[in-house]
């Protein structure tokens, strides 16, 4: 093809999204450049999101800034991705607060009777002028949600003054719906306001993850500015925003661990970081979702455990043997790796391993039927059968890290203590695992932790690739995913969706 034509031979495809253009086997060079730059060229994953930020309500984590200029208080769009976490402390869904008490425009997940619902409120001197409560529940703690809240109080139709979209679809059904008056001034883009992310004035905080957080000053936009439906999977996926942010607009990518509040919109509207550290930067994102503990696994109401740190830390219930914590992702094939750090040991036995029938609480937790685990007192359990102290594992205690290598292609599971793999006789000094449990075939397995005590609680932190604790070395799997304390055995992978797509 002649260079002057400005085209290149490429796959037969019709480009979609914000760059537009048409092609039938031939792409304009400009289109190809734009799509390659955005990660949208055929054969590439949809725009990859590199980082998120993990908030923990118990640590009072939040970001804040005060705008220096008042601009458009009637129009704004907030777009963000979130992976919500459970936390029994309550008042943990405080996503965004624009204002200064007693005034404020708030977006948050509810608690109490509103638990799991998304609320949008506006208060002028404590008087509510907006009150939207979704009928929809946000209770999938393993999922990333894309949420867009778009304001334009100049609209003649009340319901058009605040629009809510979830995963690209507008929400039109609410348990309660009070819309602002026409031309009402809200509390974003206001120099007398404070912007808070992860906190409100009570104070109450947020537990979970945020990624790709955009604020657009002066425009009411739709989700197509920030995402699109993947044509192959039908899944709503991120797109980079390419429009104008406006004076008070910002874009938080959380890509700089030393400056987590860095605004990359070009405006320099950086946020002050409060109580968040580099360990709270995560690669668990909408385009590569990592496993966490699953707080929805509750054998009975009396056996509820406490989950914190983005559902990566669990304190088991002190009155039950059946309050163990299990991964959000279950596995039937492939080879998988995870690390689990013991923070507080139950003298009656803390356990770490895998289990295939977690939905049945009568099987006595991880040490019961379907469970294969090693215990802090040196005991181990093979499909619920106690193997006795010293038969398979060494003892371990607080600060020790237990590694699991789960091989579901050959139905075996291996364990390591602080990077040394057991050989099945209580020795932990092998570079590669040879000792193992033989698993029951054709089952779905979950990595998990817990204890055998009915009077004490165990506390564990899980590292499925995004540790809630400081890593002193840093090891990834062969695909480059994960941040582990110890070397990942050859052929094993971090428990995330990109690996699942290829190896499960």
What would the pLDDT profile of 417-459 be if each residue is shown by its tens digit? Answer: 999 998 877 888 887 788 899 999 999 999 999 888 776 789 9
C-alpha to C-alpha distance for 349 and 369, rounded to whole angstroms: 17
Q: What pLDDT is attached to residue 112?
A: 85
Q: Is the pTM of this model over 0.85?
A: yes
Residue 289 is assigned to a structural domain of this protein: no
Q: What pLDDT is attached to residue 282?
A: 97
Chosen domain end from 282, 317, 334:
282
For every residue of 151-172, DSSP letters joined together read: EETT-SSGGGSEEEEETTEEE-
Residue 128 is assigned to a structural domain of this protein: yes
Domain count, the chain: 3
- Both 65 and 198 in a single domain? yes
- Both 335 and 261 in a single domain? no
Residue 45 is assigned to a structural domain of this protein: no
- Both 202 and 313 in a single domain? no
Domain holding 174: CATH number? 2.60.120.200
Q: What pLDDT is attached to residue 309?
A: 95
Contact residues for 304 (Cβ-Cβ < 8 A; gap 6+):
88, 298, 317, 323
- Both 366 and 394 in a single domain? yes
Residue with tokens 């499925």: 464
- Both 189 and 322 in a single domain? no
Angle at 380 between CA 379 and CA 383, to 5 degrees: 150
- Both 309 and 445 in a single domain? yes
Q: What pLDDT is attached to residue 299?
A: 62
What SS3 state is found at 501? Answer: helix
Q: What pLDDT is attached to residue 433?
A: 81
Domain holding 466: CATH number? 2.60.120.920
Instruction: Quote the radius of gyration of the chain (alpha carbons, Å).
Output: 25
Q: What pLDDT is attached to residue 320?
A: 64
- Both 365 and 455 in a single domain? yes
**C-alpha distances in angstroms, 190 versus 67, 237, 418?**
7, 32, 52
**C-alpha distances in angstroms, 136 versus 82, 110, 403?**
16, 12, 38
- Both 125 and 162 in a single domain? yes
Domain span at residue 260 reads: 52-282
- Both 178 and 75 in a single domain? yes
The tokens describing 499, both together, are 């690996």
Q: What pLDDT is attached to residue 66?
A: 96
Burial 200-217 (b: 16+ CB within 10 A, else e): bbeebbbbbbbbbbbbbb
- Both 103 and 244 in a single domain? yes
C-alpha to C-alpha distance for 346 and 326, rounded to whole angstroms: 18
What SS3 state is found at 30? Answer: helix
Q: What pLDDT is attached to residue 202?
A: 84
Q: What pLDDT is attached to residue 9?
A: 38
Residue 71 is assigned to a structural domain of this protein: yes
- Both 18 and 157 in a single domain? no
Residues forming beta bridges with residue 384, ordered by sequence position? none
Residue 287 is assigned to a structural domain of this protein: no
- Both 119 and 201 in a single domain? yes
Q: What pLDDT is attached to residue 52?
A: 98
Chunked into runs of 10 residues, the chain (504 residues) has average pLDDT values of 36 40 45 48 66 95 96 98 79 88 94 91 92 94 97 98 98 97 96 94 92 98 96 91 97 98 98 98 97 82 80 84 86 97 88 88 78 92 85 87 97 95 83 87 95 82 96 95 96 97 91
Peptide bond preceding 203 in cis form (omega within 30 of 0): yes
Q: What pLDDT is attached to residue 316?
A: 86
Short-list 347, 378, 350, 377, CA closest to 365: 350
């Amino acid at each position: 093809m002649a260079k002057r034509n400005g085209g290149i031979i490429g796959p037969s495809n019709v480009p979609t999204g914000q760059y537009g253009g048409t092609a039938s086997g031939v792409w304009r060079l400009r289109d190809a450049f734009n799509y390659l730059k955005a990660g949208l060229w055929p054969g590439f994953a949809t725009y990859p999101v590199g980082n998120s930020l993990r908030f923990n309500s118990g640590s009072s984590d939040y970001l804040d800034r005060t705008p220096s200029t008042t601009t458009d208080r009637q129009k704004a769009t907030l777009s963000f991705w979130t992976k919500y976490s459970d936390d029994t402390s309550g008042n943990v869904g405080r996503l965004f607060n624009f204002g200064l008490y007693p005034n404020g425009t708030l977006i948050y997940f509810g608690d109490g009777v509103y638990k799991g619902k998304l609320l949008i409120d506006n208060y002028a001197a404590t008087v509510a002028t907006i009150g939207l409560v979704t009928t929809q529940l946000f209770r999938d703690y393993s999922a990333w949600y894309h949420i867009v809240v778009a304001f334009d109080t100049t609209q003649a139709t009340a319901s058009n003054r605040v629009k809510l979209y979830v995963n690209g679809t507008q929400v039109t059904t609410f348990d309660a719906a009070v819309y602002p008056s026409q031309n009402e001034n809200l509390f974003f883009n206001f120099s007398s306001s404070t912007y808070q992310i992860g906190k409100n004035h009570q104070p109450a905080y947020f537990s979970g993850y945020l990624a790709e957080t955009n604020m657009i000053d002066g425009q009411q936009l739709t989700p197509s500015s920030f995402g699109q439906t993947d044509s192959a999977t039908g899944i709503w996926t991120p797109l980079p925003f390419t429009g104008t942010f406006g004076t008070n607009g910002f874009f938080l990518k959380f890509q700089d661990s030393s400056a987590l509040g860095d605004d990359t919109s070009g405006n320099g509207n950086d946020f002050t970081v409060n109580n968040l550290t580099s360990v709270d930067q995560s690669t668990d994102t909408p385009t590569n979702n990592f496993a966490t503990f699953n707080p929805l696994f509750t054998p009975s109401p009396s056996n509820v455990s406490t989950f914190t740190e983005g559902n990566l830390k669990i304190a088991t219930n002190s009155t039950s043997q059946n309050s163990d914590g299990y991964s959000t992702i279950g596995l039937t094939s492939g080879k998988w790796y995870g690390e689990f750090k013991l923070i507080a040991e139950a003298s009656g036995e803390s356990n770490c391993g895998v289990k295939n029938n977690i939905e049945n609480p009568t099987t006595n937790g991880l040490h019961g039927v379907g469970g294969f685990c090693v215990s802090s007192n040196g005991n181990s359990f093979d499909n619920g059968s106690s193997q006795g102290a010293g038969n398979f594992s060494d003892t371990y205690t607080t600060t020790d890290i237990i590694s699991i290598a789960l091989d579901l292609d050959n139905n075996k599971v291996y364990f390591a203590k602080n990077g040394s793999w057991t050989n099945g006789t209580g020795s932990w000094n092998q570079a590669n695992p040879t000792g193992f449990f033989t698993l029951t075939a054709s089952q779905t397995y979950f990595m998990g932790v817990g204890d055998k005590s009915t009077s004490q609680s165990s506390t564990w932190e899980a590292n499925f690739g995004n540790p809630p604790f400081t890593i002193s070395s840093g090891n990834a799997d062969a695909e480059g995913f994960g941040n582990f304390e110890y070397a990942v055995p050859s052929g094993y992978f971090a428990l995330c969706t990109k690996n699942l797509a290829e190896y499960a």
